[in-house]
Each structure stands twice: as structure tokens, then as C-alpha cells.
Structure 1
Amino acid sequence: MADPKVIKLTQADTSEPSSAAAQDGTPGAAPAPGKAPGAGPHPYADLDRMARAGLAGMTGGLSPFSTLQAWGDWAMNLAAAPGRQIELAETATRNALSLSEYALRRGAGDEDAPAPFTPKPYDHRFTYDGWSRLPFAMMEQGFLACQDWWDHATDHLHGVSAADSDRVGFMMRQVLDMASPSNFPATNPEILDETVARRGANLAEGAEFFARDMMRALTGAEGEASTLEVGRDLACTPGEVVHRNELFELIQYSPTTDKVQAEPVLIVPAWIMKYYILDLTPEHSLIRYLVGQGFTVFAISWANPRADQAELSLEDYRKEGVMEALDAVTRIVPGQKVHATGYCLGGTILSIAAATMARNGDDRLASMTLFAAQVDFSEAGELLLFVDESQVAFLEDMMWARGYLDSSQMAGTFRAMRAEDLIHARAVQRYFLGREDMTSDMTTWNADATRMPARMHSEYLRGLFLENRLSAGRFAVEGEVIALRDIAVPIFLVGTEKDHIAPWKSVYKMRLFNSSDLTFALASGGHNGGIVSPPGRPRAHFRIGHRPAGAQYEAPDAWFAAHAPQDGSWWPAWTDWLTDHSSGAVASPKMAASLAAAPGRYVLQH
């Protein structure tokens, strides 16, 4: 059973914010002293939470009640919609006829017969040439025809909530992905060809990989060590840890130019990830690039929270994280304002901090940059599939028992969003083709997951995702509601075209809630690959546009049509913008007193 102190401090308010709730300085009301979270008047609330926590452990943290509700909503409304039933019957008939025609033409020897169905742009399971041969071509087309029908069946239906419709569609994609012919040796031409060519050695090697992976899963051992090492190959930009508390280490990077821009850059990464996503190998390191362009750079490296840190709140991450880091930077580089930069959730907490600073008359920011960061969560991508009242309650109860959200839980959620590629295709490569996972800086970082404190994650899910309080003007800090419109510094906003975690149109919404001078860049790639896009990367492109302070709002589709893509990386455009919003070059400042060499010790915590 969880420690009573942990239980008491993981409360999250589920009600609309009352005036009392608004005074506690967090996105939800604090628990009554001495009461377990969610207890209220119910004397056996802890027993209920223990039961739900146990069930959550068996379901991987997924709420079966949300699943049943979604299927019930969809099925009952479909049963009462004869028009949609006729439409789906017509779709099934049309797909069957298309398949039959294709089969007849291919059976008659027409190798150039056009396939009636094509995989989705991100689906790479059928790229092997052998899929064009019979009978594999028919297996592929049959699978895609079924997928097409379910896409129509789970399209939004009048009377069904959009969340339930999307959730049913997501669950059916998971089922179809498991049943794909690409997953099985007898129906995958690449596996068959490889088995013949290697006389079965691929299956023997795959069996060895499977046995090793199963043993690690059963024993809880860590995965195979990457050939890339943090501090040697990754996160290796020279620097020093110059400040540390229980929540973060602050790294100051060593200058490489005689002159630097007077205003330093402070990077606030998301606590959901290790900071070195921005300091991968030297050729992929945004931090190294910034230093080389003549900027004094500081970066926060968050601690990986333990069970005894379950009480850490969103307010702690703002006050003891962002604000304490800013205090340290302005002490080390006195008399200068700071270019604050936030990535993902780091950008969200930076926006909260910046709005609070603006309200309080704190003018230490020279500018604010947000990478793939959202301030409005009404269109927050596929993560919304995992957020409703029942699901959040399940996660809260699981965290109540542990004190944190385990790193594997969040990693599993992200893998499920792209199961066809990150789960099934990987299994085929490893267990049937006998190929080792390719090691890269990004895959190494991706496997280096972090935990999240119970209270903070509950407040984040409820206050931001579930109730969207920040953009709705219902998010209180230190007893008063803050407003994003108060932020008056210039803003550089970056979205990425294929982001399914922070969709670019959701990132773009900052333009709705703030009227200061704003530059928006839309980069090619996804949530991570679009941000880590150094100069010289093949096929990279971006769009960029400037909105003067006070200008009228422009809808995202209109903005997209009005701004042509430019080849290359957006990094130089951003550093040019930072230079334009700086006061000029000065001699490189001295390094602060060192507590440890970069990357410090927090990034190595597991």
C-alpha cells in the first residue's frame, strides 16, 4: 500500500474551479488536510482506489470502462442509423467488386493492373517488391480493403461523440494491425524470401532475439545497451552544471566564439523526456549549433522523479524549475534579458511562467520560443484518445499506488499510436528476419524514458488536457488567473507537419490567444524529427511567416496556402531571428562555478 504522505499529496480536483480552488495556485484544488485523494465523504475510497489500481496494473493503465463506453456509444447510434448502414453495405460491396476485378485481371496475367487500394503515407509494411506478386498482392489488397471499410465505419456519425468515434477507430486499427498479413511468415513474401536465401538462419536468430527479450520482460531487466553513450556520443556538447536542486540541474555550455549575443538562451525541455533530444550526436545537436552561432546557452536537465517525489506539482515545475533556472541565468549573466525556449511540455510550462511574469511586471524575458508546444488542448492530437474522466481516474489510482507514472507506461502509449511501425514492423524485423534493431542517436534517446510524479501528471492531465484551463482563462497561479494575452515579448513558434502528439494546427493556436509580435515556422517531419532538423538534412523544408503585433488572426489553412515551402533547415532562420531580437555582440561571459561537468548526473538517472 502507498505511503500515506504520497496518498495525501496526489489529489487532483475533478470539479469546476470554485473561487476557493482558484486561490490555491494550481490547476486544481488542493486536498483537504489529512484526507486521501478522492476520498470525499466516502469512507472506503481508498479501497476503491486500491481495486482500480490493481485492475489498472492488469490492463496496462487503460480503462476498460472507457473502452466499453466508446463501443456502446458507437454501436447503439449505428444501430439507429439505417442510412449509415446502407452506406457501409455499399462500401463493402464496392470494395469487394474492386478486389474481384483486380483478382481477375491479375489472374489473367495483367501484371500492370492498378491496385484499388494503397497504404497510408506513413505505412511502410508493404514496400517490399514481393508484395506485387500473387498471392501476396491479394493478401495486401484484402487487408487494405478491410482497413478502408473500418475507416468509413468509424468516421464520425451523428449522435456519436467525436472522442468515442475516434477511440473506436483507434482500437480497430490496433486489431487490424495485429492481423496484418505482414506479421506472419506464411503470408509475408519478405520473410519467405529471406528464409529461403538464408536457409532458415533468420528464424533461428529471431528466436534467439525473442528468447532474450522475453527473459528481460519477465525479469524486469533493462534492454540491450546502446552502442551510443550519454556524455560520450550523446549530450556531449562541452559545458558545466552550474546550478542544482532536487528538481533539475542547470547546464551552462562553454562558448566557442570570441563574441556572443548579449542575451543568453535558456532551454526548457519537457520533463516527459531527457533533455538531450536537443543535444544528440554533434551533427544533430541544436545546442551545439546554437553555441557555434555565438549564443550563450543554458539548458535545464530534469531529475527523473522517484516515488518519494510524488507530491511534486505543476507549480513546483514552474517555480522551482523554470523560475529558479531563470534566476540562476540572470545571476550568471547579470543585466541581460533572456531568450527563453521551451520544447513540448517545456513550452507549455514556459508559457505559464511567461504569462505569470507578465502579470507580475517581471520583464526579464527578451523573447519566447516554443517548439511543438501547445497552450490549447482541445485539438491535442492522438493523445486525446487516452484522456477522459475514467481514463484519468485509472491513471491517478495507478500513480496513487506507485507515486509516479512509470516510464514504460508513457512509452507504450506513444508506441501504440504508431503500432504498425513501432511494434509490429519492429517485431517482424527482429523475430522473423533476424535483424538487430538499428542503433541511432534518436532511437537511443527514445528508449531512455522518464517517470512522472503522480500529482504533477494528474494536474497536467486534468487542468490542461481534460479541462483546457490555460486557454480558457481558468488557470490560476499564486491565487490569480493568468492570461496568455499578457505576454508581450516577441514569440517564435515552431510546428511540424506530421506531428501526431502536438499537431501543428494546435500549436498554431497560440496566435488566437496572444497578439504580440509572432513568427511561425512550420517544419517538415514529426514531433521530434521536425525539431531535430540540422542544416544539410536531405529533403527537409519549412514554411515561415511573420505576424506584426496587433495584426488580425489568419486561419491555419490560409496561412499554409500563403507561405511557400523553403528547402533546408529552419535552424538558421531561428538563429537569425534571435540575433535580430538581441542587443548585439559582447565578449563571451565567464563560466559560472562548476558543480559537475556536463551532462551532469540527473540525465543518467534510471
Structure 2
Amino acid sequence: MMQSGDQNKRQPEETGLERYMVRDPERFALNLARAIEEAGRAAAAWSRPREQGERRDTMTEPLADMVKTFSRLTEYWVSDPARALEAQTRLFSGYMGIWANSIRRIRGEDSEDSAIKPEPGDRRFQDPDWAKNAFFDFLKQAYLVTARWAAELVENAEGLDDQSRQKARFYVQQVSEALAPTNFIMTNPELLRETFESDGENLVRGMRMLAEDIAAGKGELKLRQSDYTKFELGRNLAVTPGKVVARNDLVEIIQYMPATEKVLKRPLLIVPPWINKFYVLDLNPQRSFIRWAVEQGHTVFVISWVNPDARHGDKGWDEYFHEGIRFALDTIGKRTGEKQVNALGYCVGGTLLAAGLALMAQENDARIASATLLATQVDFTHAGDLKVFADREQVDALDRAMKEKGYLEGSHMATAFNMLRARDLIWPYVVNNYLRGRDPLPFDLLYWNADSTRMAAANHSYYLRNCYLENNLAEGRAKLCGRRLSLSDIKVPIYMLATIDDHIAPAKSVFLGAKLFGGPVEFVLAGSGHIAGVINPPSLGKYGHWTGGGARETLEEWIAAAKAADGSWWPHWHGWIEGLDPTRVPARKLDRRRKMLGDAPGSYVKVRA
């Protein structure tokens, strides 16, 4: 068979309509048949686990919630004929504007200034034919007009409560991005050209990959975002030298080897989120926060959470604090002899750390001398789009589903996180993998993103109810180990980092939570989002950060008073730590006479969901 490269040589000069014509009808028909066959395998991979009772669909509740939310939105616009007519008129007017532009274009007039354009940063319509070809230009403008009109319906609907409006905004965005013409072969000029140029071979490859990814997800689509074969933990990811020095049923404690002759007297304990794996902080030597901290003279200990299964179903926040943070503190004390540490928590790891600090304050446990909270919410009043999935009905349904297995499947949270940035994390890969038939490029951060973890049922239920649903931690109603918690009891210095484009822990939410602590708080705002804004080594010189905004009522006022600085926040944080206690002692070597349980990154992190 002639390959696509041969075809490119055969017709190098094709332009215009010739690019949208079948080259070899017989070969094209054969490949369509092969693509249908591969699609059948994909359907079988999806249906087989359900027929055998191994997989049950869990989308019923979210879909029902979406329908209910859209019903509330529709009710507002159709309950008043004048409002309904107004909405229809706005949409019709937009379409008429597109039609008028098309007429001017046919006449040879310049219609560029009046054309509907994508928003800045929208990379979906970069192919030249989205502008040059009248048909695809019409599709693009019609889509943009409709999507913006739908978004305006949400914003202009009166009487919606904040939760319903947030849900409507989120669901409208999901539907709009799913229906973009860039996601379909016949409405995407680049896809259509590639399909004709390869005589449909891209579809054969794409359907084969689809079948493989559904099989890998055991009946659910495990979207391939990176070439996973190019990475291996301990070989080119999570390679900072260290040892597992303690282990229990819930965690491994890793101590990293020193890189300086002297180290800060206070060791550094890192509490990562259990929703993802800790090696986001140790992706590769160039972007590893852990390696950088070691090189600055910190004796770094990290908690590596187990990837839970049915055995861990009853472990809630009490156990995660006792067997996680408190076990780590005990381990550090035994190995270093130090009575105080600096602690750092990231995302939900920071939320648990804050709750633990409130408990330790009541117990007069002063082993944590300072706390750093990265992209951490303790007040969930203005929580991000994940709150869409955390109303009472959905949490109740999730509780019932988790009790059956004792845990929440890792794919559930992975899908939720991807949906927050569907335009970047879902649809480009659907198009690239299953329509273009191309393997994704190797990317360490997306390898980590796909390396999902399960959630222990009791732990996740506590988190959703006490934080997202009832905001008990902020309101002083949450309990840990039988004691009611008050964040105002925490008097140790706090370094609190928010990131300006965070959709998971919005900066406004983090800023509000910073007001709840009883001691000094150093609030810092970093550029970019939840991951890139945190994992931002100084060597990259990216994003920038803001400091010194002082005590302000709102985040906007704080930013107006803050000082902007270029590059990473890491050196500023290290200076803050040294300002608390600059004392240094001889580097703590890993004593080989004491029992080690393995090399970093340990065994728990390698368990796949």
C-alpha cells in the first residue's frame, strides 16, 4: 500500500478544493472498514466489563445534576415571553451578522474587522483555512456566537443562587467545548485534509488507540495524554537521592540525602496531597522542588501516601493525621534528634496540615515551628469549580458508591480535574489520538497527571463534607481526633502561597483563608496556576510573584499594594524560612547502620490505580 508520505510526494502542489477530495477511493473505503472494525473492538472493550459485572456506570448522578441545572436556567428564560424573545433575538442578530459578513466576503469586500474572532489564547482555530475558507470561517463564527450567547444566558439569568450559577457556568462551558467544530472530522479543515491525504489511515490508527485506552481503563476511557513508555519512576522521574526510612500501612517516609556540608537545624517535612502522587515535587532534576530544597541546605523528609484499596476504606482524617503527619514527626525526631521542624503542605495536604496544627495547638505539641501552605484552601466559601461536584445530593451518591468498594476510583478524580481545563486537557488529546491517530508527545507533567490515585472512602467523605459542603474547618465546627478545631489557635508563622490562575484552589479562596490563623501570615501570590505556579524553579525565570501587600480586606486591594517580582517564589520562601531560624548544623548523613526500607521514591508511589 502507498503510505501518506508517498502521497505527499505524488501531489506536492495541491491547493484549494483538491485538498478536500479523496485520493484513492478504493483504499479509502478499505480503511473506513478497518476503522469501523477497530471501533467495534473499542465498543467491546467498553461493554465487556459491564456485561461481566466488573464495571458500573457512575455518570448517572452528574448527568442528572446537569439536566436539573439546565432546567433551572431554562425556566428563567422561558417563563417570561419577553425574556425568551430577547434571548432569541440576540442569537438571531448574531447569526445575521455572520451572514452579512459572508455576503460581503462573496462580493470580495473586506469583512475582517466585523468577523467574530476567538478570544486571545484560544488555540483551536490556528489552521489558516479557519480564516481563508468561507465554509470553515462560517462554522467558526457560528460556533463562537452560539457559545458566547449560551454563556451570557447564564450570566444574565436573575434569581439563580451562587451554587446554581457556578454549576450552570461550568456545564455550559463543558457542552460548548465538547461541541466545538474543531472536535469533528467533517468540520475541522486540518482533520479533513489529513483524513483524505492518508486515505483514512488516521482513523484506523485512532480507533485502535481508542480500543487500547478503553481496555487500559477496564471499561472506561483512560485518555492518553503523554507517551508513558518514556518515563519510569526512579530512572528519569523522582530521582533525587534518598531512602525510605519508615513505613506503616498508610505512608512511607522518605529522607533525602544532603547536598551541602551544613544544613538548616530545623528539618523540612513535606505533606503532599494524597489526591495525586508526591513526585510532582520531584518531577526531574531541573524542575524538582525537593532537589532544590536539599541544595539550599534543607534536610527534607516527604510523606508518600499509599494508593488505598479496600483495606483502607475506614481510614479518615484521624488516621491520616496520626499515621501520616504525626508518624512522620516521630520519625524525624528519632532520626535527627531535633524537637522542631518546618512543615510544608500542598493542596489538600496543606488542608490536613492546617487541621493538624489546630489540634496540636490544643495539645501543646510544638514540634512544628512554621508551616508553609501551597495552593491550600482552609476556607471553602469561594472554592473553585470542583465545588460543582460537591452538593449534598452528589456527595450522598458518592458515599454510597464508595462504600461498595471502600474507595473512590482514581479515574473519577482524574476526570474531574481534566474537566476543569477540558479545552487543554481533554479535547486536544481526543482529536490528536483518536481522530488524527497520533501518539501524544512525552511530557513528564502529564505522565504524573495520568498516574492517578484512589481515595479512601472515609477520608474522601470527610473532606467533601467538612470542607466543600459545610465549610466546617473555617467555621470552627470540624473535629479531628474528637476535638473541635479552631484555626485561630494556630500561632506559628504561616507562609501561604496562592496562584493567580488557580481553578482548584482559587487565589480569592486562599486569601480569605489566610485571615483565619492566629499568628503571623506571609501571603504570597504567584503567577500561573495550581501546578505550574507552584512547580516553578528559579532557573526558568517564569511567571513572577507578588509579596508585601499587607493586611487588606480583599485580594484586589492586596495586589494593588503588593510588590511585583520576577521569576520564582522559591528563593523568597527560602529567605523567609532562614529569617525564622538561620542556624545550621553539620549535614545529616543517612546512617547506613540503621535499617533502610528501600531507595527513594519508595514502593507505595509505584502502585498504579
Give the equivalent residue in structure 2 for 1:41.
Answer: none
Give 2:246's match in structure 1, choosing from 239, 243, 247.
243
Confirm or deny that 1:71 pairs with 2:70. Answer: yes
Structure 1-normalised TM-score? 0.85
Q: Once the 2 structures are TM-superposed, how far is the Cα of residue 458 of structure 1 from its aligned partner?
A: 0.9
Q: CA–CA distance in 1 between the matches of 2:281 and 2:80?
A: 50
Give the equivalent residue in structure 2 for 1:187.
Answer: 187
Give the equivalent residue in structure 2 for 1:459.
Answer: 462
Unaligned runs of 5+ in 2: 1-52
Give the equivalent residue in structure 2 for 1:170.
Answer: 170
CA, structure 1 residues 469+83, in 2 after alignment: closer, same or farther (shift >3 Å)? farther
Confirm or deny that 1:107 pairs with 2:106. Answer: yes
Q: Contact (CA 8 Å) 1:61, 1:398: kept in 2 or not?
A: no
Q: Contact (CA 8 Å) 1:150, 1:169: kept in 2 or not?
A: no
Q: Once the 2 structures are TM-superposed, how far is the Cα of residue 208 of structure 1 from its aligned partner?
A: 3.4
Confirm or deny that 1:153 pairs with 2:153. Answer: yes
Query: 1:436 is paired with a residue of what secondary structure?
Result: coil
CA, structure 1 residues 362+306, in 2 after alignment: closer, same or farther (shift >3 Å)? same
Query: 1:155 is paired with a residue of what secondary structure?
Result: helix
Query: 2:304 is paired with a residue of what secondary structure?
Result: strand
Q: Once the 2 structures are TM-superposed, how far is the Cα of residue 362 of structure 1 from its aligned partner?
A: 1.7
Give the equivalent residue in structure 2 for 1:28.
Answer: none
Give the equivalent residue in structure 2 for 1:428.
Answer: 431
Give the equivalent residue in structure 2 for 1:599.
Answer: 601
- Paired positions, count: 548
Q: 1:445-470 CA distances to partner (integer Å, 9 max, x unpaired)?
A: 11110001111111111111100000
Confirm or deny that 1:355 pairs with 2:354. Answer: no
Tell me: higher relative CO, structure 1 or 2? Use CA pairs within 8 A at least 6 residues apart: 1
Confirm or deny that 1:96 pairs with 2:114. Answer: no
Give the equivalent residue in structure 2 for 1:571.
Answer: 570
Q: CA–CA distance in 2 between the matches of 1:329 and 1:111?
A: 71
Query: 1:154 is paired with a residue of what secondary structure?
Result: helix
Q: 1:460-507 CA distances to partner (integer Å, 9 max, x unpaired)?
A: 111111000000111123333211112111111111122111111111
Q: Contact (CA 8 Å) 1:61, 1:409: kept in 2 or not?
A: no
Q: Once the 2 structures are TM-superposed, how far is the Cα of residue 285 of structure 1 from its aligned partner?
A: 0.5
Give the equivalent residue in structure 2 for 1:46.
Answer: none
Give the equivalent residue in structure 2 for 1:14.
Answer: none
CA, structure 1 residues 214+553, in 2 after alignment: closer, same or farther (shift >3 Å)? closer
Q: Where do residues 514-529 of structure 1 align in structure 2 (5 Å cutoff)?
A: 514-529=517-532
Give the equivalent residue in structure 2 for 1:558.
Answer: 557
Q: Once the 2 structures are TM-superposed, how far is the Cα of residue 217 of structure 1 from its aligned partner?
A: 4.5
> One-letter code of the match for 2:603?
R
Give 2:533's match in structure 1, choosing from 511, 530, 535.
530
Structure 2-normalised TM-score? 0.85
Give the equivalent residue in structure 2 for 1:10.
Answer: none
Give the equivalent residue in structure 2 for 1:269.
Answer: 272
Confirm or deny that 1:300 pairs with 2:303. Answer: yes
Q: Once the 2 structures are TM-superposed, how far is the Cα of residue 156 of structure 1 from its aligned partner?
A: 5.6
Q: Contact (CA 8 Å) 2:410, 2:452: kept in 1 or not?
A: yes
Give the equivalent residue in structure 1 for 2:291.
Answer: 288
Unaligned runs of 5+ in 1: 1-53
Q: CA–CA distance in 2 between the matches of 1:286 and 1:188?
A: 41
Out of 191-200 and 528-537, give the one that drifted further: 191-200
Query: 1:375 is paired with a residue of what secondary structure?
Result: coil
Q: Contact (CA 8 Å) 2:266, 2:338: kept in 1 or not?
A: no
> One-letter code of the match for 1:210?
L
Out of 97-106 and 469-478, give the one that drifted further: 97-106
Q: CA–CA distance in 1 between the matches of 2:498 and 2:106?
A: 47
Q: 1:45-65 CA distances to partner (integer Å, 9 max, x unpaired)?
A: xxxxxxxxx9x9324363455
> One-letter code of the match for 1:162?
D
Q: 1:349-381 CA distances to partner (integer Å, 9 max, x unpaired)?
A: 000011111222222222110111100112111
Out of 427-436 and 276-285, give the one that drifted further: 427-436
Q: CA–CA distance in 2 between the matches of 1:415 and 1:495?
A: 20
Out of 190-199 and 278-287, give the one that drifted further: 190-199
Q: 1:429-454 CA distances to partner (integer Å, 9 max, x unpaired)?
A: 11222321111110111111000111
Give 1:482's match in structure 2, choosing from 474, 482, 485.
485
> One-letter code of the match for 1:418?
R
Q: CA–CA distance in 2 between the matches of 1:586 and 1:108?
A: 80
Give the equivalent residue in structure 1 for 2:59.
Answer: 60
Out of 337-346 and 416-425, give the one that drifted further: 416-425
Q: 1:249-282 CA distances to partner (integer Å, 9 max, x unpaired)?
A: 0100000100111111100001101000101011
Query: 1:498 is paired with a residue of what secondary structure?
Result: coil
Q: Once the 2 structures are TM-superposed, how far is the Cα of residue 161 of structure 1 from its aligned partner?
A: 2.0
Confirm or deny that 1:387 pairs with 2:390. Answer: yes
CA, structure 1 residues 63+131, in 2 after alignment: closer, same or farther (shift >3 Å)? closer
Give the equivalent residue in structure 2 for 1:19.
Answer: none
Q: Once the 2 structures are TM-superposed, how far is the Cα of residue 71 of structure 1 from its aligned partner?
A: 2.9
Q: Once the 2 structures are TM-superposed, how far is the Cα of residue 220 of structure 1 from its aligned partner?
A: 7.3
Out of 248-257 and 414-423, give the one that drifted further: 414-423
Out of 420-429 and 104-113, give the one that drifted further: 104-113
| Cα RMSD (Å) | 2.4
Q: Percent identity?
A: 38
Q: Contact (CA 8 Å) 1:65, 1:390: kept in 2 or not?
A: no
Q: CA–CA distance in 2 between the matches of 1:274 and 1:387?
A: 22
CA, structure 1 residues 563+225, in 2 after alignment: closer, same or farther (shift >3 Å)? same
